[in-house]
Amino acid sequence: MKRSSVIAVILGGGRGTRLFPLTDHRSKPAVPVGGKYRLVDIPISNCLNSEIRRIYVLTQFNSASLNRHIKNTYNFDVFSSGFVDILAAEQTPENTGWFQGTADAVRQSLHHMENHEHEHVLILSGDQLYQMDYQKMMQRHKEKGADLTVATIPVSAKDATGFGIMKTNSEGTIESFVEKPSEDELGKWKSEVPEQYKAEGKEYLASMGIYIFNSDVLKKLFADNPDATDFGKELIPKCVDGDQKVCSYEFGGYWTDIGTIESFFEANLALADTIPDFNLYDNQNFIYTRARLLPASKLMGTTLEHALMAEGCIIEASRIVRSVVGIRSRIGKGTTIENSIIMGNDIFQDRSVIENATPEKPSMGIGQRCYISNCIIDRNVAIGNDVRIVGGDHLEDGDHKYHYVRDGIIIVKKKTVIPDGTII
Give 277's DSSP letter: S
In this structure, CATH architecture of domain 3-270: Alpha-Beta Complex (3.90)
Considering only CA atoms, which of 27, 12, 30 is closest in space to residue 343? Answer: 30
Selecting from 2.160.10.10, 3.40.50.1220, 2.40.50.140, 2.60.40.10, what CATH number does the domain 298-418 have?
2.160.10.10
Q: 144 and 245 in contact (C-beta within 8 Å)?
A: yes
Q: CA 419 to CA 152: how far, in whole Å? A: 48
SS3 331: strand
Q: CA 38 to CA 100: how far, in whole Å? A: 24
Domain ranges of the chain: 3-270, 298-418
Q: 369 and 333 in contact (C-beta within 8 Å)?
A: yes
Q: pTM for this structure?
A: 0.92
Considering only CA atoms, which of 22, 73, 35 is closest in space to residue 313? Answer: 35
Q: CA 372 to CA 349: how far, in whole Å? A: 22
Give the dihedral of Cα atoms 71, 75, 78, 82; nearest 10 deg. Answer: -100
Q: 53 and 88 in contact (C-beta within 8 Å)?
A: no
Q: CA 274 to CA 49: how far, in whole Å? A: 24
Q: CA 295 to CA 312: how far, in whole Å? A: 5
Predicted pLDDT at 384: 97
For the chain, which ranges sit under pLDDT 70? 1-4, 13-16, 61-62, 89-100
Considering only CA atoms, which of 373, 363, 372, 376 is closest in space to residue 417? Answer: 363
